[in-house]
Structure 1
Amino acid sequence: QAAQDLEALQTLRKERQNWTVESQAWAAEKEELKAQLQEQVQLCAKHERAARDFETFTLKQDQDLEAATARVQALEAQLREAEVETDGKRGEWDEERNRMMVSSSEQR
């Protein structure tokens, strides 16, 4: 009976040793997976920041474009006003020149 008990005890010790080795392997694998997960979380956070930065950049570009378009439209309106004013002055100058020519020819 003692020999059987000793053999059973040795078998249990060997199994416990195997379980300890397996448990250590699982713990190491768990740590590796945790490290990989943390890496992925950091990568996701980096991509989210990049996406937000890009969104902010494109929004600013859109705002800058709208502002530039408004400035161009204002300048075009000023140009049209100046053209109308110039055309009006040209008409006045033509009338004045014609009066002077008539006056000059009458004096001769």
Structure 2
Amino acid sequence: MTDNCLFCKIIAGAIPGKIVHQDEELVVFEDIAPQAPFHYLIVPRKHIPTTLDMAEVDEALIGRVFRLAARLARQMGFAEEGFRVVNNCNAGAGQTVWHLHFHLLGGRKMTWPPG
């Protein structure tokens, strides 16, 4: 855990979060400012600041993120309508917490381009 990281604190239980899934590598919780009826953050337990900081050893972890996103979308009932998995890297792309995370959004029509 990195002491000043919001997501590390949520993962550790030091800050409350509405957790919907957790396992040995990933924690999923509701976004506090949802942009869709279903908006979850899929966060590795391992502290990785940005996509640029990922190492080769993290490749399997990122595959698990996408498999979990699909499973949660099915379980929550929005998979067939469609959903989006988003990762923002650095401030110019909208990253505000420096812990790698993926937004799982569903329950509404998505537009393109996204922003």
Q: Report TM bin, short chain.
A: under 0.3
Scaled by the length of structure 2, the TM-score of the pair is: 0.19
Higher relative contact order (CA 8 A, sep 6+): 2
Query: Of the two, which has the highest radius of gyration?
Result: 1
More helix per residue:
1
Task: Name the structure where strand makes up a greater proportion of residues.
Answer: 2
TM superposition score normalised by structure 1: 0.20
